[in-house]
Amino acid sequence: MSLDLQKYLSLFVAEAGEHLAGFARDLVLLEKAAREGGGAGAKAAIDSCFRHAHSVKGMSASMRLDGISAVAHRAEDLVDVFRGDPAKLDAGAVDLLLSAADVLQEMVGASAAGANPPADAATMERLSGAARRLREGGVVGPGPAGAPALPAQGAAPAPAPPGEAVRAAPPAAAAAGEGEPAHPEPARPQSRRVIVDVSVAGSCPVPAVRAFLVVKKLGALGAVTRTSPPVDDLKAGRIPGRKLEVTLDTAETLQALERALAQISDLAGVVLREAGEERPPATAERPLPAPAEAEHGEATRSVRVRTDLLDGFLDAVGELILATARIREVGKALPPGSRAALEEGVDRLHAIVKDLHDKVMTVRMTPLAVLTDRLPRAARDVARKVGKQVEVEVKGAEIEIDRAILEELTDPLLHVIRNAVDHGVEASHLRLLAGKPAVGRIAVSARRERDRVILEIADDGKGMDPAKLREAAVARGTITAAQAAALGDREALLLACLPGVSTADTVTDVSGRGVGLDAVKRTVEAVGGTLDLESAPGAGSRITFRLPLTVAVQPVLLVRVGEEVLGLPIAKVHGAAQVEMSRLDRSRGEPVLPYDGELVPVHDLTRLLGFPQDGVRDERAVVVAEGGDGRVGLAVDALLGQQEAVLKPLGAPLDAVPGLSAVTVLGNGRPVFILDVQRLLAG
Amino acid sequence: MAKRVLIVDDAIFMRNMIKDIFSGSGFQVVGEAANGLEAVEKYKELRPDLTTMDIVMPFKSGIEATREIIKSDAKAVIVMCSALGQESLVMEAIEAGASDFIVKPFKSEDVLSVVKKVLGDA
């Protein structure tokens, strides 16, 4: 490859990867649409599939990667057959195209390392053979797994005879019939849609709060139907570019709105305009008219940035935050007379650095779609292997989250999906017996709640049985029979997250569910999230991840133990109490603290960490934290306060020390270790 | 006629500073309160044109006081005095009905520009 092309290689690898992922996603969609009788959905998916294959072909040819181009060309050719007749698509063909996408992805990966991989002859032959047979009126036949082709029920293996009744109107046709909204709203002649663009002055240290005030003021004058950024973002302090756009349905005049906004300080620019049409009816299927957006300023321009560069930015901003805190500390030693000027400067610096940090975090935000797009395919693969039918529905894929969290989440989420197909969803005949639809359903949905992303994976399978999990945990000696009996059903379900509980041998109903679920829980918690499990026997299970938007800056509780200062993630802390250790009740020799209606075992952090015991006073502070198997108390010498900390992963050899999860640097330059309570107690 | 101002802050130093800013600029400071409880009482008694409200105070927070004042007088104009890092509290106060906010440390011209705008005198 010539040097010239080398320059574009990383871009090619990234874009080709996206197209191949899109290709696989559309194929699974297409298969579903075909099963539901084709229609507009199938047509759109097939066109999109074709475009992806076509793009990969063109891109790789431009890169002189002829092998990739040749395979992509054959795949495109096969898809083209279905464009003419979607009914010809069967599971075998989808299998074949998906495996071609995998082959192509591997080749693209090899090209990233500088190779020019040759076309795989077997793949080429399978693709062109299938296209040939289909054109001659045959079928592709069973896929490599030998599983049956699309099931007869609801499938469209052959074109229906012209006279046959249509099974069910495809959604598109049904929608087309609704010319009028069912419940026409009373006319509101004066109310119309106004779009307000506001930019917050650079001198304002808290632009998000300013913008929030604007939204609030406008809300008093009409109905705010949309804001960009969303209000949740503003509440989390995010307002990229200090710009806000509010869509308002109001009866007020533009002048009245302008007057109201003139009362708000720190606004550098306010532009009001009416959306180009009357207020749409209540059904409002149409999103905001796009032309109105386009006429206002240039189209959004974007550039691609290497991810390691983004990581570098974040590191640098983290150092800036620490350095600012350090200057503030140093300033405290100055005589009072000269301190004010420095503090004013530091406040300003802090505001700027915080703004910069917000911007960097915004740039790092990545839509969940990058991950969720892979889920239908993953579910399908498992389903084909075990002879089940399942559909994955994804909602809220546009929700954004820090890419570091997204990366950590990939394996756990795939694991949960595979588990749901393998162990949650029943085989079709059993589902029909249970009065459920033959095709199992897994709903993946994401939504924002303030500064959290809630990700739910719900299946309509057979669910988990808390009673059996209790039995299994007792049988494994993880908990006692008395403890098991004391657990509520919800808590009992979480037993599945303990290592070794609910293996296939002990709990056939949930075989495998526990295997790896502890790893999933640990990963989710490592990024500052929580995991929750709900299940109803016979009705299905739901796993809920609550995730932070960003991972880098977390509030920590600082405590002193002996001469050391240590940090605990606030997310893990329930509360704290001041106690005299000698006066605590004891249970089996261990001190216990009454807290929030339960007795919490208290561990001495001085002893756990192997620090010298002499000089430890009887009166101690006890931090109640989440310890993995429930709450635990950690006795420390003093609570020092709460601080936003930029957490850095530990390098070797410190990462091997059990009980330490990260390190941060305080304003005074002192490094502080962050404790991993769960592992500390286990170790 | 000079606009009448009520100043709420638990620090005497802050109250004096804010009082100086207003007194030198044609406002009439009619009262002071050192906590949220006092603030609500003084407001009902004095009915000022403008109230400056600290957020973190003993007995009753500025947010709680704002909520109660707005409940008794929806047209009350309350400007929150906040510090950096209290963004979410300020937004809570705005939800409670505060008209605007200023961020400490502030300069006198910033304070005056915010309150004049909020009172529609700008």
pLDDT digits (tens, 9 = 90+) for A366-420: 889 888 888 888 888 888 888 889 999 999 988 888 888 888 888 888 888 988 8
pLDDT digits (tens, 9 = 90+) for A425-466: 998 888 988 889 999 999 999 998 877 899 999 999 988 888
Beta-bridge mates of residue A547: A453
Residue A143 has pLDDT above 50, yes or no: no
- Confidence class for position A159, pLDDT limits 50, 70, 90: very low
pLDDT of residue A481: 81
Beta-bridge mates of residue A192: A250, A278
Tell me the nearest-neighbour CA distance from B87 into chain A, angstroms. 6
Q: What is B4-118's CATH number?
A: 3.40.50.2300
Tell me the nearest-neighbour CA distance from B106 into chain A, angstroms. 10
Beta-bridge mates of residue A531: A545
pLDDT of residue A359: 84
The answer to whether the bond into A653 is cis (omega within 30° of 0) is yes
Tell me the nearest-neighbour CA distance from A114 into chain B, angstroms. 49
Pairwise pLDDT comparison (A167 vs A25), residue with the higher score: A25
Q: Are the C-beta atoms of residues A126 and A7 closer than 8 Å to each other?
A: no
DSSP assignment of A478-489 equals SS-HHHHHHS-H
Does A213 contact B101 at a Cβ distance shorter than 8 Å? Answer: yes
Q: What is the CA radius of gyration of chain B?
A: 13
pLDDT digits (tens, 9 = 90+) for A41-70: 777 888 888 888 888 887 887 778 889 989
Q: Taking a contact as any Cβ pair under 8 Å apart, which residues of chain B between 101 and 120 contact chain A?
A: 101, 103, 105, 113-114, 117-118, 120
The residue in chain B having the minimum alpha-carbon distance to the alpha carbon of residue A343 is B105
Cα distance between residue A392 and residue A376, in whole Å: 5
Q: With contacts defined as CB-CB under 8 Å, which chain A residues touch B90?
A: 206, 209
Query: Which candidate from A235, A265, A343 shows the least CB-CB separation from B114?
Result: A265
Does B105 contact A206 at a Cβ distance shorter than 8 Å? Answer: no
- Cα A236 to Cα A173, A207, A353, A529, distances in angstroms: 42, 11, 16, 17
The residue in chain A having the minimum alpha-carbon distance to the alpha carbon of residue B112 is A265
Beta-bridge mates of residue A458: A443, A542
**Mapping DSSP to helix (H, G, I), strand (E, B) and coil, where does residue A622 land?**
strand
| Nearest Cα to Cα of residue A134 among A101, A104, A164, A92 | A92
> How large is the average pLDDT for residues A149-166?
37
Pairwise pLDDT comparison (A521 vs A196), residue with the higher score: A196
Q: With contacts defined as CB-CB under 8 Å, which chain A residues touch B101?
A: 209, 213
Beta-bridge mates of residue A304: none
- Cα A559 to Cα A19, A32, A553, A565, A610, distances in angstroms: 50, 55, 18, 6, 16
Longest dimension (CA), chain B: 37
Residue A262 contacts B where some CB pair is shorter than 8 Å = yes
pLDDT digits (tens, 9 = 90+) for A652-663: 677 667 788 778
Domain positions in chain B: 4-118
Q: With contacts defined as CB-CB under 8 Å, which chain A residues touch B111?
A: none
Residue B23 contacts A where some CB pair is shorter than 8 Å = no
Does B105 contact A343 at a Cβ distance shorter than 8 Å? Answer: yes
**Which H or E run includes A295?**
helix A290-295
Cα distance between residue B29 and residue B23, in whole Å: 7
Mutation site for B-interface testing, chosen from A263, A348, A357 by largest number of B Cβ within 10 Å: A263
Tell me the nearest-neighbour CA distance from B44 into chain A, angstroms. 24
Tell me the nearest-neighbour CA distance from B112 into chain A, angstroms. 11
> How large is the average pLDDT for residues A312-325?
81
pLDDT of residue A190: 62
Query: Which candidate from A265, A344, A350 shows the least CB-CB separation from B100?
Result: A265
